A and B are shown apart, each in its own frame.
Chain A
Amino acid sequence: MAALINVPSKAKRGDIIEIRTLTSHIMETGFRHTADGKLVPRDIITSFACRYNGTEIFRADLFPAIAANPYLSFFTVAKDSGKFEFEWIGDNGYSTTASASITVE
């Protein structure tokens, strides 16, 4: 499963930067039925976290009301050069990670 991350590669110290993430995931709600009446079991991403040089800067608890292929955008302040690490955890043992680096001048 792929994740798309958009983090500016460069920023000035103190700048507000936007971080955007898009993950490919079905986000099956658990409310739908198949044609023969069986309930389609829930399969969603339940949590997302972002760490900036090891410190957690954003965390999300997600529920079935999140649209398929979850998109998230949030903002932080560029402090130091380093790495953003992203982690998604979901039903049925779903887990994926991604990272992006930033140069702060």
Chain B
Amino acid sequence: NDKYPEEAFKQKNEADAIKALYGRTAEPSDKVKLDAPEIAENGGVVPISVTTSLDKVTSISFFVAENPNALAASYRIPEGTIPAVANRLKMAKTTRLTAIVEADGKLYSATKEVKVTVGGCGG
């Protein structure tokens, strides 16, 4: 089992967080389907899901660019598990949302802009 990725989480910026978590950069792919609302009325609960038609998927991660720390969640997909996951994220404000799928050692991404009317980080 890998350790909790404390270092990757500490990164404020999305690109740094992806680098700290995976050690490389992702290329956009239309095989990654990211489903998120265009407008989130409540940034505290934004339903997000991702599915992919890529083979040999080993992990899926979500990054919220405008949050205090970009890394939101990271899921390990062992062999035999279908590469699809749904969760609910918090968003501080209108932001770019990125889903990263790691497949066969490469990174693929999908992004979407989500408009947030009420932020979900407080403070």
Q: Are A72 and B69 in contact (CB under 8 A)?
A: no
Assuming the contacts A64-B90, A66-B72, A70-B88, asked whether A77 and B123 have C-beta atoms less than 8 A apart, the reply is no
Number of interchain pairs (Cβ within 8 Å): 103
Of B49, B72, B78, B122, the residue contacting A58 (CB under 8 A) is: B78
Q: How large is the interface on A (under 10, 10 to 19, 20 to 34, 35 or more residues)?
A: 20 to 34
Q: Are B88 and A63 in contact (CB under 8 A)?
A: no
Q: Are A65 and B78 in contact (CB under 8 A)?
A: no
Report Cα–Cα, A59/B74, bound state, in Å.
Answer: 8
- A residues near B, CB below 8 A? 16, 29, 31-33, 46-47, 55-68, 70-77, 79
Assuming the contacts A32-B121, A32-B122, A72-B87, asked whether A63 and B82 have C-beta atoms less than 8 A apart, the reply is no
Q: 29 pairs across A/B with beta carbons < 8 Å?
A: A29-B68, A31-B121, A32-B122, A32-B123, A59-B1, A59-B76, A60-B74, A61-B4, A61-B73, A61-B74, A61-B76, A63-B69, A63-B71, A65-B64, A65-B69, A65-B72, A65-B90, A66-B73, A66-B87, A66-B89, A67-B87, A67-B89, A67-B90, A71-B88, A72-B86, A73-B49, A74-B85, A76-B81, A77-B80
